[in-house]
């Protein structure tokens, strides 16, 4: 069977390069992770289709999770009669999710995944900040204090990631970095205390300590001009 088009041209380049002692691979060939010599292009296409299908499923699952968090965030905003910056933040996240979905559909998958992850982090941080400043709690239905502690660990890690992203920005001023570093130092000590308490199965105490650790990060982020509602 004679293969035509770009796939055959790529294969000719591979064979010619190998014969000369040099192998020239296009970015597309690397991305497809195809065997160097594959006599069955249909099988290679099937593998690529399967990879793309798995990527699509993972993307949709993450998108559904992000929108579920955004729905919870919107309920809290409405119940607490928040407006202004809180409402603007909600709208911005919704638009970011829509852009990520559109880019994924257009084939810009790497960009779309990065945008989706960024929006997911933003909505998780915003939701956590709202919960942090009020006695209101969403019906998360924790099965145990240990499970709630694991949730607080994830929430703390999300705020820590936001700090890291700010620190990586070239525009961040040294004074702002110093304030954040000081807060991170206090927060990490509290986090370590919480871990020790959890290690002794003192989960209720560990939850309170870890909440304080996260609160240190929230205060520091607000002090450098990052809006976190709540």
Which pLDDT score, from 0 to 100, does residue 38 have? 55
Rounded CA separation 98/96 (Å): 5
Local structure of residue 65 (DSSP, 8 states): H
Distance of CA 180 to the CA centre of its chain: 21
* pLDDT averaged over every residue in the chain: 75
- pLDDT at residue 70 is higher than 60: yes
Q: Which H/E stretch holds residue 40? A: none
**Nearest one of 139, 124, 131 to 67, comparing CA atoms:** 124
The predicted-structure confidence for 141-186, as pLDDT tens digits, reads as follows 788 999 999 989 988 988 888 888 778 766 567 777 888 899 999 9
> 60: which 2 tokens?
């949709």
**Mean pLDDT along residues 8-26:** 37
User: Domain segments of the chain: what residues?
Assistant: 41-132, 145-223
pTM summary value? 0.49
H helical segments located in the chain: 6-19, 27-32, 41-79, 85-105, 109-132, 145-168, 174-199, 203-223
Q: Are the C-beta atoms of residues 217 and 187 closer than 8 Å to each other? A: yes
């Amino acid at each position: 069977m004679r293969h035509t088009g770009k796939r055959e041209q790529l294969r000719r380049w591979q064979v010619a390069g190998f014969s000369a002692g040099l192998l020239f691979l296009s970015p597309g060939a690397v991305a497809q992770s195809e065997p160097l010599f594959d006599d069955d292009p249909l099988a290679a296409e099937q593998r690529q289709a399967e990879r793309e299908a798995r990527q699509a499923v993972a993307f949709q699952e993450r998108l559904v999770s992000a929108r579920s968090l955004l729905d919870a965030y919107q309920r809290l905003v409405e119940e607490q009669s928040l407006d202004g910056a809180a409402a603007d933040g909600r709208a911005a996240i919704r638009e970011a999710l829509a852009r990520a979905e559109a880019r994924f559909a257009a084939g810009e998958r790497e960009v779309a995944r990065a945008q989706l992850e960024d929006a997911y982090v933003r909505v998780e941080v915003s939701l956590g900040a709202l919960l942090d400043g009020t006695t209101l709690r969403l019906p998360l239905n924790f099965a145990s204090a240990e499970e709630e502690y694991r949730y607080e660990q994830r929430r703390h890690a999300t705020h820590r990631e936001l700090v890291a992203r700010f620190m990586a920005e070239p525009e961040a001023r040294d004074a702002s970095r110093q304030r954040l570093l000081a807060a991170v130092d206090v927060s990490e000590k509290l986090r370590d205390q919480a871990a020790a308490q959890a290690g002794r199965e003192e989960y209720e105490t560990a939850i309170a300590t870890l909440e304080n650790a996260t609160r240190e990060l929230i205060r520091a982020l607000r002090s450098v001009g990052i809006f976190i509602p709540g």
